């Protein structure tokens, strides 16, 4: 455990994640625009966005157990390098005009397969390189830098796609992954409790049972996991279809980039504040609850308005609420995890949470081909308000935030 927040390992991890994050932002806008331009299908957009989430839902409960037993350096560096190669191969196909929708879907599948091993490795590593008494500030610092990268990337993404073209953007994303992999080679990664143990099907299933038992015996997890699944199922879909939503409103791809940068600016502002100010437990709880509930209200208002300026304001306020709520909740969650099964439990939690997002993307995409997207967005968002209120105002949520 490092004594200082800013040490060699946190700086290297931050640098690597920032570089790949910039490539990912440009790539997601470029490939989303390419798919929508080729097909004009909201359902296909939803399917493409849901692939990585379905992979997370199905594989993550087991990948966390594997990560607990493997070298985290091998996982982190190897998965970034593999994603870099996948993106470079796609770039070659794009330059030769052989890129097709099935290839894009296959690349999304392969890249997401890498992510389900990369993400739990990074999540557990963060607990070892960030001092526990600085966890909120540490996570806020990482979120802040990534938000700054996202702010710049999204603001210029539309213009860069038009200026550089989709093939070059894909290649740049591949290069960003390879740069991250090289940077991560120099991080000192402590061994996990179970590192070096044999990886067997029986052992993986055993870890799955242990993690599942630990979660469902915990009254907090029994509240949070079903709530997260339902909330994401009802309200996560708009995030995957914002580009066609903006185009349907009559705005341009450049305006989409600016709108997303407004949301990111809100996140950046809030994580900076959380990184500077140390909140008392009661203030943390009420900040989380008001943030989550406010985000629902402001997002519904954003979908209903026809004014681009007012939409930007509502998206900004929605971004503030979501960032405050998630930053506080996630910091409490990671501190509550037992060290011996962190990877497996994180995988289990991620599977339920992401499963709701994946199903939501598919459902919203299908409904968006039948009804106007703004009506689908508003209906789903308002429906998510009930489980959000239930989770935030439940006495177990209050007790959990106050005690972690």
Q: What is the pLDDT of residues 310-337, one digit of tens each?
A: 999 999 999 899 888 888 887 777 666 6
Q: Which two tokens stand for residue 57?
A: 């839902």
Rounded Cα–Cα distance for residues 172 and 145 (Å)? 20
Q: What is the pLDDT of residues 14-40, one digit of tens each?
A: 777 777 777 777 777 777 777 777 777
pLDDT at 335: 64
Please determine, for residue 146, whether its predicted confidence score (pLDDT) is greater than 90. Answer: no
Rounded Cα–Cα distance for residues 242 and 244 (Å)? 6
Is there a contact between 308 and 251 (Cβ–Cβ < 8 Å)? yes
Domain ranges of the chain: 8-185+202-403
Is there a contact between 86 and 111 (Cβ–Cβ < 8 Å)? yes
Is there a contact between 60 and 84 (Cβ–Cβ < 8 Å)? no
Q: What is the dihedral of CA 104, 142, 120, 330, to 10 degrees?
A: -110
Please determine, for residue 269, whether its predicted confidence score (pLDDT) is greater than 70. Answer: yes
Residue whose entry in the numeric block shows the structure tokens 């968002």: 381
> Nearest 5 degrees, angle CA 40-CA 156-CA 168?
70
Least confident of 112-121, 243-252, 284-293: 112-121
pLDDT at 308: 92
Rounded Cα–Cα distance for residues 389 and 67 (Å)? 35
Architecture field, domain 8-185+202-403? Up-down Bundle (1.20)
Rounded Cα–Cα distance for residues 34 and 28 (Å)? 10
Rounded Cα–Cα distance for residues 25 and 176 (Å)? 11
Instruction: Enumerate residues 6+ apart whose C-beta is below 8 A from 306.
Output: 249
pLDDT at 5: 58
Is there a contact between 402 and 282 (Cβ–Cβ < 8 Å)? yes
Neighbours of 109 (CB within 10 A): 14
Helix (H, G, I), strand (E, B) or coil at 354: helix
Helices (H), ranges, 185-307 = 201-216, 219-235, 242-248, 253-276, 281-304
Query: Mean pLDDT throughout 132-151?
Result: 64
Rounded Cα–Cα distance for residues 145 and 366 (Å)? 35
Bigger pLDDT: 119 vs 334:
119
């Amino acid at each position: 455990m490092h004594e200082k927040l800013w040490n060699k390992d946190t700086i290297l991890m931050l640098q690597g994640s920032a570089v790949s994050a910039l490539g990912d932002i440009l790539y997601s806008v470029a490939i989303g625009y390419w798919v929508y331009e080729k097909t004009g299908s909201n359902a296909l957009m939803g399917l493409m966005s849901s692939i990585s989430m379905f992979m997370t839902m199905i594989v993550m409960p087991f990948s966390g157990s594997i990560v607990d037993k493997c070298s985290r350096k091998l996982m982190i560096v190897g998965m970034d390098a593999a994603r870099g190669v996948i993106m470079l191969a796609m770039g070659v196909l794009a330059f030769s005009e052989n890129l097709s929708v099935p290839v894009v879907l296959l690349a999304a599948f392969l890249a997401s397969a890498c992510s389900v091993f990369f993400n739990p490795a990074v999540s557990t590593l963060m607990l070892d390189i960030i001092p526990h008494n600085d966890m909120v500030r540490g996570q806020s610092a990482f979120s802040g830098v990534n938000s700054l990268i996202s702010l710049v990337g999204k603001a210029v993404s539309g213009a860069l796609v038009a200026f550089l073209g989709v093939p070059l953007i894909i290649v740049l994303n591949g290069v960003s992954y390879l740069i991250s992999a090289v940077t991560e080679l120099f991080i000192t990664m402590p061994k996990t409790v179970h590192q070096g143990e044999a990886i067997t099907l029986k052992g993986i299933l055993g870890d799955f049972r242990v993690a599942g038992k630990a979660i469902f015996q915990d009254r907090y997890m029994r509240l949070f996991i079903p709530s997260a699944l339902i909330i994401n199922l009802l309200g996560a879909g708009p995030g995957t279809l914002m580009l066609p939503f903006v185009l349907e409103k009559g705005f341009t791809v450049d305006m989409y980039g600016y709108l997303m940068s407004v949301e990111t600016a809100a996140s950046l502002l809030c994580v900076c504040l959380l990184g500077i100010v140390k909140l008392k437990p009661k203030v943390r709880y009420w900040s989380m609850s008001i943030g989550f509930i406010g985000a629902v209200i402001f997002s519904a208002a954003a979908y209903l308005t026809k004014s681009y300026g007012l939409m930007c304001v509502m998206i900004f306020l929605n971004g503030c609420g979501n960032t405050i709520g998630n930053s506080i909740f996630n910091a409490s969650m990671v501190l509550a995890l037992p060290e011996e099964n962190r990877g497996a439990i994180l995988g289990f939690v991620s599977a339920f949470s992401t499963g709701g997002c994946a199903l939501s993307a598919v459902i919203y995409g299908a409904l968006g081909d039948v009804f106007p997207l703004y009506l689908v967005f508003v209906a789903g968002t308002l429906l998510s308000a009930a489980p959000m209120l239930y989770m935030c105002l439940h006495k177990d949520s209050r007790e959990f935030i106050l005690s972690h």
